Amino acid sequence: MNIGLIGSGGREHSLCQKIYESSLTKKIFCIPGNAGTSKIAINISVDINNFGEILKVINFYKIDLVVVGPEEPLVKGLVDFLEKNKIPVFGPNKYASKLEGSKAFMKQLCKSNNIPTAKFKICKNSNEVKKFLKYNSLPIVVKADGLAAGKGVAICNSKKKILEISEQIFNGKYKSSNKLVLEEFIDGEEASYFLIVDKKNYKFFGTAQDHKRVGENDKGPNTGGMGAYSPAPIINSTLEKKIIKRIVEPTLQALKKKKSPYKGFLYVGLMIVNNEPYLIEYNVRMGDPECQVILPRLETDFLKIIDKAVNNNLKKLKIKWRKQKCMTIVLCSKGYPGKYEKNRLIQNIKKIKLNKNEFIFHAGTKSKNGKVYSNGGRVLNISSMGNNFKKIRENIFKIIKKISWRFGFFRKDIGWKVIKK
pLDDT in tens, 182-218: 999 999 999 999 999 999 999 999 999 999 999 999 9
Over range 114-128, report the average pLDDT.
Answer: 94
**Predicted confidence (pLDDT) per residue in 306-352, tens digit:** 999 999 999 999 999 999 999 999 999 999 999 999 999 999 898 89
| Structural domains of the chain in order of their starting residue, each with its CATH number | 2-93 (3.40.50.20), 119-184 (3.30.1490.20), 325-409 (3.90.600.10)
SS (H, E, C) the chain: CEEEEEECCHHHHHHHHHHHHCCCCCEEEEEECCCCHHHCCEECCCCCCCHHHHHHHHHHCCCCEEEECCHHHHHCCHHHHHHHCCCCEECCCCCCCHHHHCHHHHHHHHHHCCCCECCEEEECCHHHHHHHHHHCCCCEEEEECCCCCCCCEEEECCHHHHHHHHHHHHCCCCCCCCCEEEEECCCCEEEEEEEEECCCCEEEEEEEEECCEEECCCEEEECCCCEEEECCCCCCHHHHHHHHHHHHHHHHHHHHHCCCCCCEEEEEEEEEECCEEEEEEEECCCCCCCHHHHHHHECCCHHHHHHHHHCCCCCCCCCCECCCEEEEEEEEECCCCCCCCCCCECCCHHHCCCCCCEEEEECCEEEECCEEEECCCEEEEEEEEECCHHHHHHHHHHHHHHHCCCCEECCCCCCCCCCCC
Q: Identify the pLDDT of residue 153.
A: 87
Q: pLDDT at position 143, please?
A: 92
pLDDT the model gives residue 411:
98
Instruction: Tell me the average pLDDT of the chain.
Output: 95
Q: Is residue 176 predicted with pLDDT exceeding 80?
A: no
* H-run or E-run covering 170: helix 159-170
Q: Which residue in 3, 71, 88 sits closest to 37, CA to CA?
A: 3
Within 10 angstroms of residue 258's Cβ, the number of other Cβ atoms is 10
Q: What are the pLDDT digits (tens) for 256-292? A: 999 999 999 999 999 999 999 999 999 999 999 999 9
What pLDDT is stored for residue 159 in this prediction?
92
- 7 versus 421: which is more confidently predicted? 7
- Determine the pLDDT at residue 23: 97
% pLDDT > 70, the chain: 99
pLDDT at 421 (0 to 100): 54
With a pLDDT cut of 90, the percent of the chain lying above it is 90
Average pLDDT score over residue span 369-394: 96
pLDDT score for 398: 97
As a whole number, mean pLDDT of residues 24-28 equals 98
Q: Return d(Cα 303, Cα 284) in angstroms, integer.
A: 19
User: What average pLDDT score do residues 372-394 get?
Assistant: 97
What pLDDT score does 150 carry? 67
CA distance 193 to 246: 13
The confidence band for 177, taking pLDDT boundaries of 50, 70 and 90, is confident
Residue 148 pLDDT grade (very low, low, confident, very high; cuts 50, 70, 90): confident
277, β-bridge pairs:
272
